[in-house]
Amino acid sequence: MTTRTLESVEEKFETFQILNEEGEVVNEAAMPELSDEQLQELMKRMVYTRIWDQRAISLNRQGRLGFYAPVAGQEASMLGSQFALDKEDWILPGYRDIPQIVFHGLPLHQAFLWSRGHMGGGQFPEGLNIVVPQIIIGAQIIQTAGVALGLKRKAKNNVAITYTGDGGSSQGDFYEGMNFAGAYNVPAIFIVQNNRFAISVPVEKQSAAKTIAQKATAAGIEGIQVDGMDVLAVYAVTKQARDRALNGEGPTLIETMTYRYGPHTMAGDDPTRYRTSDLDDEWTKKDPLIRFRKFLEGKKLWSEEQENEVVEKAKEDIKAAIKEADNAPKQKVTDIIGVMFEELPVNLREQMEEYTAKESK
């Protein structure tokens, strides 16, 4: 009788990669079929998001944005995966996953309103298949299993995809959601963006498992670990996961090995208290923008002029979006009460009357 050891299971989960840190193709057979225009679009989105991130941090420090979770370093993980989706697929984001839903169709000014806690930030355009970013860590995993089950029962040819960080994989909801998804064989994709520290706790102290990807085994679903700084590798594994789901082969857990260069959020986190400068330097060399830029330049598909155009467009779009957010109607208590229920219960009707009277003075 052959006994499978923990080590033999973990050996299965080697990091999938297409581009190395120098932008060189190291896995030609896995290269996705993307046109030159699509490759350029991926780069545009990553550059755009990096500028947006820098500007959002500045706006937060100026008091013009509320909650903000920096994304620099995770662009390949976020945008490579979203690029593999169909417009009708559902995204259930965590609070850091704003770039994915903006490129899925959410107007940028609404992303800024959401950051400010304005209810207009959650009033999405008709037909936009996203849900409001989840603040409760890991809760979106269970929601995704439910949405995917709904897609399956309605015979929709689409998937539900969600994101969390390595910290989210330590939540009970993470295991419950994957177990449900596996048991019902639903079209779901679970992406864990392993940036190594959750809020401040090293991943090695969160789990004794060598990888997060191997946690898929217990749920009976496919699991893969990918270089999250390699946008082509992330795109390729997400597309494969989507194809598997639509073919009735079940959900996939994707662990993207990535790194956030900034703090967990702008709410007072100081990453120097738990990360070393040597580690920061190590991951800076793996920057997804530098890597993909080198690859495209080698194919004569990218130039400094093109990048500057994207930078200027990002700045203009952000300026216009923050102005539109500034011009949004100020929230009133009655507005918030009015959208809570189709028919208000007695206690809220009383509050509505009370605040209506106050606001009319």
Catalytic residues: 260, 264, 274
User: Is residue 84 within 8 Å of 95, Cβ to Cβ?
Assistant: no
Q: Which residues pair with 193 in a beta bridge?
A: 165, 256
- CB atoms inside a 10 Å sphere around CB 344: 14
Burial class (CB in 10 A: 0-12, 13-18, 19+), 76: buried
Q: How far is the C-alpha of 92 from the C-alpha of 166, rounded, in Å?
A: 17
- CB atoms inside a 10 Å sphere around CB 209: 17
Q: How far is CA 52 from CA 66, 115, 326, in A?
A: 15, 14, 17
Q: How far is the C-alpha of 188 from the C-alpha of 77, rounded, in Å?
A: 17
User: Is residue 181 within 8 Å of 219, Cβ to Cβ?
Assistant: yes
Query: At 286, which amino acid appears?
Result: K
- CB atoms inside a 10 Å sphere around CB 269: 16
In sequence order, the 6+-apart residues with CB closer than 8 A to the CB of 72 are 50, 53, 54, 260, 261, 262
